[in-house]
Amino acid sequence: MNPKINALTDMDTKNAILEAAESTKRWQLGMPKGPLDGLPIGVKDLQDAKGLLTTHGSPKLRGNIASKDLPMVAKLRDAGAIILAKTNVPELGAGGNSRNPVWGATGNPFNPNLIAGGSSGGSAAALGANMLPLCTGSDTGGSLRLPAALCGIVGYRPSVDVVAHPTRPLGWSGISVLGPMARTVEDMILMLQVIQGYDENDPLTAPAAPDRFSNLPNIALKELRIGYSEDFGGTPVDPDIRATFQQRVAAIKPHVAVCRPVDLNLGDMDRVFDILRAESFHVAFAQGLIDTPEFFGDNIKTNVALAKSFTLADRGWAHVEQTKILRNYNALMKDFDIILLPTVPVSPFPWTQPHATEIDQQKMDIYYRWLALTYRGSLLNGPSITLPTGLDPQGMPFGLQILGAVRADETLLAAASAIEALLAQTSETARPEPDFATLQDSTIELKSMVTHPPIFDSTDTSATVKTAV
């Protein structure tokens, strides 16, 4: 199936088969390593997994073989997970379209001509095609939620204190987090129980009970107080997406205590995000652009140039405005348990198009502006999740985004589980699956962006990457 959508990049099939056999023996003896023992997992190609290529989709790193696991990946291994493959991303994780000059483009399992989203697009597509049960992701402006919505699976951005990210360069910035992706909320929580936890090198995490997510609060649908917004305070949304969102709200409304519209115009969210994102990209890539500019694509250059246009006064303003946004949100959430939103403002478009340039007759001023429905929520440092809820009018997956109160992850997950169960009762709103027969017959060339896909020869001790013939 993978050649049809190009979701998985470097694979460790031989070792995975050996590990699976060992897992079987442990289960037969009643001695599994942990709750994930034997489950094959995909790891996003921005994250190190020992012995596998971690290229970030960048030609500069096409020969980079990780010498150790990212701490989150190490936790998964310790719990028995089998790291089967890396999953595709946009170049250096920049943008909502998982295509790059190393591995090519990832197609949507519901239509390989269309985008799978990003930056965790390979993970989402692999899950959407039922190739893997669990995958890792990360999220700055929606990279867990956007591709999950487009591929019909669950993507969860936890509060900043939940999953330790001790390798984050800007240790005090919570704009980027790590998180789990799965096909259902229950599967996602199983993974979350393993990867959550404190690390002294991540100052934003906090000590918590090891079984923090084992027993979620018992929340009855009839007690839920729900607010909803079609556009997160005025961001452009395609009319068909608005209509589909309204249908999902209508399906939920009779079953809850409160369900009414809310105004999410919390502040100048777009400019705050521009500054915080530009800061992180400048730290990561500015020097590389000076040293080897030929290795960086337009998205990276755009972000670094934007960063150079900001001043210290702009950064100070962004701190103040983000704090105001948080406090406005906290005041709003005194009346609600969760907030419903669409996840993506448009149906998937061809992956040959780098990004959405116009939505509902409004032009996007920068390549990531079409992600405003998700990145505005990132500024809150609280939890958000997207659930697969049927199809949109174009026959593509529709994701329902849910925001929770800051650091109220348990409440959000309990509410999401209840809503998932409600919407699963009818085929119109249940998690959709691709037409696998049609997908298997696909002849789309998803690697047309690549000169030669890299193949690592494990017998070559120099750890270079050779080109395929």
The string of pLDDT tens digits covering residues 160-169 is 999 999 988 8
The reply to whether omega before 119 is within 30° of 0 (cis) is yes
Q: What's the pLDDT score for residue 202?
A: 97
Q: What's the pLDDT score for residue 286?
A: 95
- 315-357 confidence digits (pLDDT tens): 999 999 999 999 999 999 999 999 999 999 999 999 999 999 9
Average pLDDT of the chain? Answer: 94
Do 213 and 315 meet the contact criterion of CB atoms below 8 Å apart? no
Which is more confident, 7 or 447?
A: 7
Do 342 and 232 meet the contact criterion of CB atoms below 8 Å apart? no
Quick one: average pLDDT of 193-221? 94
pLDDT at 140 over 90: yes
Distance CA 429, CA 398 (A): 9
Residue 447's pLDDT band (boundaries 50, 70, 90)?
A: low
pTM of the model: 0.94
Distance CA 126, CA 462 (A): 31
Q: What's the pLDDT score for residue 209?
A: 92
Phi/psi for 305 (5° steps) reads: -60, -40
pLDDT at 298 over 90: yes
Q: What's the pLDDT score for residue 121?
A: 98
pLDDT at 449 over 60: no
Phi/psi for 367 (5° steps) reads: -60, -20
What percentage of residues in the chain have a pLDDT greater than 70? 95
Task: Looking at the structure, give the CATH architecture of the domain made up of residues 2-467.
Answer: Alpha-Beta Complex (3.90)
Do 138 and 119 meet the contact criterion of CB atoms below 8 Å apart? yes
* Residue that the structure tokens 């790291």 belong to: 83
Phi/psi for 247 (5° steps) reads: -65, -40
Quick one: average pLDDT of 111-133? 98
Q: What's the pLDDT score for residue 444?
A: 82
Residue 456's pLDDT band (boundaries 50, 70, 90)?
A: very low
Distance CA 182, CA 17 (A): 22
Distance CA 63, CA 295 (A): 13
> Coil, helix or strand for 29?
coil
pLDDT at 460 over 50: no
In 367-423, the DSSP E strands lie at 384-391, 397-404
Phi/psi for 311 (5° steps) reads: -115, 175
Pairing of strands 454-456, 397-404: unpaired
Q: What's the pLDDT score for residue 446?
A: 80
Region of 191 please: left (phi>0), alpha (psi -120 to 50) or beta. alpha
* Residue that the structure tokens 């998932």 belong to: 420
Quick one: average pLDDT of 179-183? 98
Q: What's the pLDDT score for residue 467?
A: 27
Q: What's the pLDDT score for residue 134?
A: 98
**Which burial class, exposed, middle or buried, applies to 422 when counting CB atoms under 10 A from its CB (0-12, 13-18, 19+)?**
middle
Give exposure, 359-396, as e/b (b: 16+ Cβ within 10 Å). beeeebeebbbbbbbbbbbbbbbbbbbbbbbbbbebeb
